Amino acid sequence: MALHIPTLLVVSVFVFFLMGLLTLHAWYRETREPPLAYLGSMMLLGALGVVLVSWRDRGVDFVPIIFGNIVLLLSAAMNWTAMRTLMGRKPYLPGILAGSVVWLLLCLMPAFYDSMANRVLIYSLLAFGYGVLTTLELWRNRHSLDIAFMPALVLTVLHTIFYAVRSATDDGLPVTKALLGSGEGVPFFSFMLFESMLYVIGIAYITLAMVKERAELKLKAAAFSDPLTGIGNRRAFMQHASHLLDGCQQRAEPAALLLCDLDHFKRLNDTYGHPVGDQALIAFSEVLMKSVRKEDVFGRIGGEEFACLLCACDEQTALEIAERIRLSFARLSILEPGLLSVSIGVVTTRESGYDLSRLLSEADQALYGAKHQGRNRVQTLRSLYLGLA
């Protein structure tokens, strides 16, 4: 089926323009994510570029040849910049302008300006270069990305391959002949317009999906994170600790729960102010992070209360870790020595089983015993029952 090129040109302009406006609308009204702003700019520049390169045989051929292609190269650069900012990197202005500057300088040479084959070759190579840069942005960050990037990578690779093929096979077709539907390059010209529309629609949808997915992950992370200390909150601890306990039970491994409560915290806030109290909470969370292993779970589950679940850990090892936490916190130089202390209750799955609610309840009893016996100490539930200090 033959594609009507004038219709394709008109449709492509409207598709680029409409998709650009919708993408910018999504950026402005909802996310304010830079990738959407750059992607919307790419589409609007693409619409303008198609209009300009179609402006031939009107006595101003320098407009489509020079400015039309400059705008299209800026459009390709915006596509690269959109993916670059999506990866968390800043826009690179020299790279954005490089393709346009190269094109402008080459157009100052009559041998280049007067040769359509040379112009098609160089433009295709420059577009190919921006495609390679866009692909590299996605590929180099593939291990750190927490979003589904593969559709964008595949689509960009295919788009980049198209321009590699064009640079090797297409000698160019004057727009006037294309509009008349005459010439050997008409099928390729038609496919080029069709491919561009498919890419714009596809990359807009995929990028919007990636931005939305990342926003949802940020919201989820915020919902599971304590805003002051940055560690997991009660919800995160309960979910991850339950999962860890299930795994320990299946492997028949022991686990231990440490319930930590900063001593005299209200008096600390009343005497030194809430900023100092906040500093103490942050410092204790840092002590926890340094004291436990990567596979363990810990979080702030109350005002000044923290919990740690240690997997593959018996009572003796749990006591050693708890004592290390207690001593490390007491030695901090936030306040005078002796003013910072923590009481810790310790229980293990050997005595309390693998039910998290029961572990927390019995660890709370052990913690209460530590408080009752003078604070700044580590207490197990078993020793509490036996009346041992």
Domain ranges of the chain: 5-223, 234-385
Specify the pairing of strand 305-311 against strand 255-262.
antiparallel
Amino acid at 152: A
- Measured N-to-C along each axis, helices 234-250 and 356-372 cross at an angle, to the nearest 10 degrees, of 110
3-state secondary structure of 213: helix
Please calculate the CA angle 379-227-360 and round it to the nearest 5 degrees.
30
Per-residue pLDDT of the chain (389 residues; tens, 9 = 90+): 456 777 888 889 999 999 999 999 989 886 688 999 999 999 999 999 999 988 876 667 888 899 999 999 999 999 999 999 998 899 999 999 999 999 999 999 999 998 988 999 999 999 999 999 999 999 988 877 778 889 999 999 999 999 999 998 887 766 666 666 666 767 788 888 889 999 999 999 999 899 888 888 888 888 888 989 989 999 999 999 999 999 999 999 999 999 999 999 998 888 889 999 999 999 999 999 999 988 999 999 999 999 999 999 999 999 999 999 999 999 888 877 668 899 999 999 998 899 999 999 999 999 999 999 889 999 998 776 665 54
Instruction: Give the chain's radius of gyration (CA, Å).
Output: 32
Judging by beta carbons within 10 Å of its beta carbon (0-12, 13-18, 19+), is residue 353 exposed, middle or buried?
middle
CATH superfamily, domain 234-385, is Reverse transcriptase/Diguanylate cyclase domain (3.30.70.270)
Structure tokens at 244: 């860890």
CA atoms within 13 A on the CB side of 337: 3
Name the residue type at position 366. A
Other beta carbons within 10 Å of 29: 8
Alpha-carbon span 21 to 54, nearest angstrom: 22
